[in-house]
Structure 1
Amino acid sequence: MPAPTEATVTESLTANMDMLRFATAGSVDDGKSTLIGRLLLDSKSIFEDQLEAVEATSASKGYDYTDLALLTDGLRSEREQGITIDVAYRYFATPARKFIIADTPGHVQYTRNMVTGASTADLGLVLVDARQGLTEQSRRHAVILSLLRVPHLVLAVNKMDLVDYSQEIYDKIQAEFTTFATKLNIPDLEVIPISALAGDNVVNRSENMDWYSGPTLMHHLENVHVASDRDLVDVRFPVQYVVRPKSDEHHDYRGYGGMVAGGVLKPGDEVVVLPSGMTSKIAGIDLFDKEITEAFPPMSVTVRLEDDVDVSRGDMIARPANAPKPSQDIDAMICWMADAPLKPRQKLAIKHTTRVARALVKDIQYRLDVNTLHRDQETKELGRNEIGRVQLRTTVPLLCDPYSKNRTTGSFILIDEATGITVGAGMINNAS
């Protein structure tokens, strides 16, 4: 038997570790990309040649420090302007947990990209510059994270080294943001003073801020509890594709692939296939090439049923006594992403889980001012990067839940049928 390699040992150690998805947010130049670079560097998650290249580039620019933002700002236009434009995804792992980072743009022009990056996050990391304090964009992103029901929020007060590690400045920002957060739906908030450039309280505890007794950022990321954030009660399994191998060995195999959106699936469970209403039992659940005893969010699996019922892409497998009600009238919060405004009577394509339909905008109830939380009920349209409450009517029923109950079955995207471009993201309040 060959000796295990470092890669196989690492894979076996991390196979059963849980994963934390987190998104960074904040104003331009608050240091998001530098912070992620610091996390990757101090957790030893970058290769030596990567670090050498960044050090060489920093030196060629005349910097007396290593520009860690170069590790994440991949687009040439990002490097030239010193800002993040697109959502940059990065992966790293520590002995305690695996991480997926969505480094989202801070500029107001790219708010829609921030929504994209934060939509699947377990935790939102909002940075503020200690010299500037809370800005309009800081509040804006906190509101968006709240609307997206991101269950955990960290406010990182960055660049503490530039304010002489002042506890007074930290306390002022913490008090101001905590007061603002009481108006939002933020169940878990942590405020941490850091210096991404110097490394204070990022991975290692800062000696310059002995007045701070809370966790370092990495300690909090490794230990924040996210398992209970998933809906493990209401079974929701949107079918993405039908698995029918063409080989002679598996010619009788028929399974239904997709990602578990809610609840726990086990062999022997009674289930209903929607919208047909046909019932059956789960014969087995397969993960890659092995059979497993249960599946839960966000696992991607193949479900086999005991009966040969008609199941296709866009259908949903649920429990008979706890199934979503098919709905065509949708009340939702919309983040509009297109240059042309959203107006009543507009027709769009809507993609909800694995089902695609057409939708008519019946009414725009109000536009939400994300800075003051004021509801402008006089508005007749939603402009680019604006958020508002909208009534939709779909051509076919959607199998949905309120977003507050299930972030997967409670969300959708709107698509311009002419161009195929995503123009809006929606969070369902209720449906009928």
Structure 2
Amino acid sequence: MTNDILRFATAGSVDDGKSTLIGRLLYDSKSIFEDQLDSVERTSRSRGEEQTNLALLTDGLRAEREQGITIDVAYRYFATPRRTFIIADTPGHIQYTRNMVTGASTADLAVILVDARKGLQEQSRRHAFLATLLQVPHLVVAVNKMDLVDYSQERFEEIRAEFTDFAAKLDVTDLAFIPISALHGDNVVERSMEMAWYEGTSLLHHLENVHIASDRNLIDARFPVQYVVRPHKADDPDLHDYRGYAGQMAGGVLRRGDEVVHLPSGISSRVARIVTADGDLDEAFSPQSVTVLLEDDIDISRGDMICRPNNRPREARDLQAMVCWMAESRTLTPRSKLLLKHTTRTTKVMVKDLLYRLDVNTLSRDEHPAELALNEIGRVALKSAQPLFVDEYKRNRTTGGFILVDEGTNTTVAAGMVLDAD
């Protein structure tokens, strides 16, 4: 029995049943309180609905309920004896592409809902593409509302064939199809008697058993330094020379005694201790937060990187990256100046060029556009004022990802994925 964490995002067209599906998972897995259920039942009755509307468990904002759609990314948590789950419920509208990017950026798996009556829609294709662009390793196509097509195997197979053809254009590593009815609970937590022709597992069983350990980058040891720990206790001589480097492992494994190198200085040392609030560890791995002590006294500060001597990230000032523009008040244009936050380092960057803008519905490219506007995605060339220690995003989503910030307002205006670096 395991007790690890699976982060997954749900996406799809408007009214495909994302909120109902999550509500069903919470309800059938007994992960809601009685007062929550009572509140939802009362609200459902006051709206004249014949049965409990489980979507209300996730559509928490009054404005969302009044419009009948999910707008923001709603995070929900539940657990089974086998796993703990963190769900990002993302909106379906095209104008909320940025929300989908936010929700899927840390996901291990994405559930794309498809209405069995409507089949594959523009939003379904867009969200599937975004999930693969963000290197989400596992994709589940949940064909919902099967009860409205009489649980037809033929209809399910049509949608599976259509999506499989589309997925051939994408970088999909693991793809599964599950026919469900979120409203009635068919194949959500328990196998459905209405679809005896389906030989696969329920959605929850799939979520509990999908293998994610190998998705972690356990090769490239990456430790971005967030804070230098220098306690000052005159009555404790053991702490007089204490210098620890606190941060979160961004990849690989560090063990006590390992030879490491500090970037940007290039000075080598060895790991003397790995410290946590619960005591010392023999090793640390992603995404643990630890304090690392080295055998040698090196001038290390926030934003620096500790890694292995023969396995280093690229040290680069020039980046090519895919970015999703998230700002409403301004556009991204050549010569734009912004702040770039990458792991624990923040530096100024300038946009050297907009190489192309991508149509996420057709996957066609608009070469050298004048700008990127809200929710648009494109490939850009950036020039950094300071060196960055990066990996390609497809190799390491932490050291290959970054955000862009408006220096004047301190608001996040874009999310980026490193494609190449010099």
TM-score, length of structure 2 as denominator length: 0.96
- Residue 138 of structure 2, aligned match among 143, 152, 155: 152
1:171-212: per-residue Cα shift (whole Å, max 9, x none)? 111110011001000100001111111100000001111111
1:214-251: per-residue Cα shift (whole Å, max 9, x none)? 11100110010011111111110111112234454573
- Residue 380 of structure 1, aligned match among 363, 367, 370: 370
Counterpart residue number, 1:137: 123
Is contact 2:258–2:270 with CA below 8 Å preserved after alignment?
yes
Give the stretch that moved more between structures: 405-414 or 44-53: 44-53
Name the aligned partner's letter for residue 268 of structure 1.
G
Q: How does 1:99-178 map to 2 (within 5 A)?
A: 99-178=85-164
Q: Match of 2:311, SS?
A: coil
Deviation (angstroms), 1:352: 0.5
Counterpart residue number, 1:251: 239
Percent identity, please: 68
Counterpart residue number, 2:83: 97
**CA–CA distance in structure 1, aligned partners of residues 64 and 289 of structure 2:** 34
Tell me if 1:411 matches 2:388: no
Deviation (angstroms), 1:334: 0.8
Which runs of 5 or more residues in structure 2 are unaligned? none
- Residue 299 of structure 1, aligned match among 282, 285, 288: 288
Counterpart residue number, 2:354: 364
Q: Match of 2:186, SS?
A: coil
- Residue 338 of structure 2, aligned match among 331, 348, 373: 348
1:350-384: per-residue Cα shift (whole Å, max 9, x none)? 00111000111111111111111111115221121
Which runs of 5 or more residues in structure 1 are unaligned? 1-12
1:109-128: per-residue Cα shift (whole Å, max 9, x none)? 11101101100001011111
Q: Match of 2:351, SS?
A: strand
**CA–CA distance in structure 2, aligned partners of residues 246 and 207 of structure 1:** 66
Is contact 2:354–2:368 with CA below 8 Å preserved after alignment?
no
**CA–CA distance in structure 1, aligned partners of residues 327 and 318 of structure 2:** 23
What RMSD, in angstroms, separates the aligned Cα atoms of the two structures? 1.3
Q: How does 1:415-426 map to 2 (within 5 A)?
A: 415-426=405-416
Deviation (angstroms), 1:394: 0.5
Give the stretch that moved more between structures: 286-295 or 257-266: 286-295
- Residue 56 of structure 1, aligned match among 17, 42, 57: 42
Counterpart residue number, 1:218: 204
**CA–CA distance in structure 2, aligned partners of residues 287 and 51 of structure 1:** 40
Name the aligned partner's letter for residue 298 of structure 2.
V
Give the stretch that moved more between structures: 422-431 or 283-292: 283-292
- Residue 261 of structure 2, aligned match among 261, 268, 272: 272
Deviation (angstroms), 1:164: 1.2
Q: Match of 2:395, SS?
A: coil
Counterpart residue number, 1:183: 169
Deviation (angstroms), 1:406: 0.6
Tell me if 1:236 matches 2:225: no
Is contact 2:356–2:379 with CA below 8 Å preserved after alignment?
yes
Q: Match of 2:382, SS?
A: strand
Q: Match of 1:295, SS?
A: strand
Counterpart residue number, 1:20: 6
Counterpart residue number, 1:77: 63
**CA–CA distance in structure 2, aligned partners of residues 357 and 46 of structure 1:** 44
**CA–CA distance in structure 2, aligned partners of residues 187 and 17 of structure 1:** 24
- How many residues get paired? 418
Q: 1:342 to 1:36 in 2, by over 3 A?
A: same
**CA–CA distance in structure 2, aligned partners of residues 289 and 312 of structure 1:** 24
Name the aligned partner's letter for residue 54 of structure 2.
L
Give the stretch that moved more between structures: 366-375 or 351-360: 366-375
- Residue 309 of structure 2, aligned match among 297, 315, 320: 320
**CA–CA distance in structure 1, aligned partners of residues 19 and 290 of structure 2:** 34
**CA–CA distance in structure 2, aligned partners of residues 206 and 77 of structure 1:** 34
**CA–CA distance in structure 2, aligned partners of residues 59 and 300 of structure 1:** 47
Q: Match of 1:117, SS?
A: helix
1:300-333: per-residue Cα shift (whole Å, max 9, x none)? 2221212222221111110011111210000111
Q: Match of 2:310, SS?
A: coil
**CA–CA distance in structure 1, aligned partners of residues 394 and 219 of structure 2:** 14
1:103-150: per-residue Cα shift (whole Å, max 9, x none)? 111111111011011000010111111111111111001111111000
Deviation (angstroms), 1:341: 2.0
Q: Match of 2:253, SS?
A: coil
Counterpart residue number, 1:260: 249
Q: 1:419 to 1:245 in 2, by over 3 A?
A: same
Name the aligned partner's letter for residue 229 of structure 2.
V
**CA–CA distance in structure 2, aligned partners of residues 196 and 309 of structure 1:** 57
Q: Match of 1:80, SS?
A: helix
TM-score, length of structure 1 as denominator length: 0.94
1:9-36: per-residue Cα shift (whole Å, max 9, x none)? xxxx9xx721111011111111111111
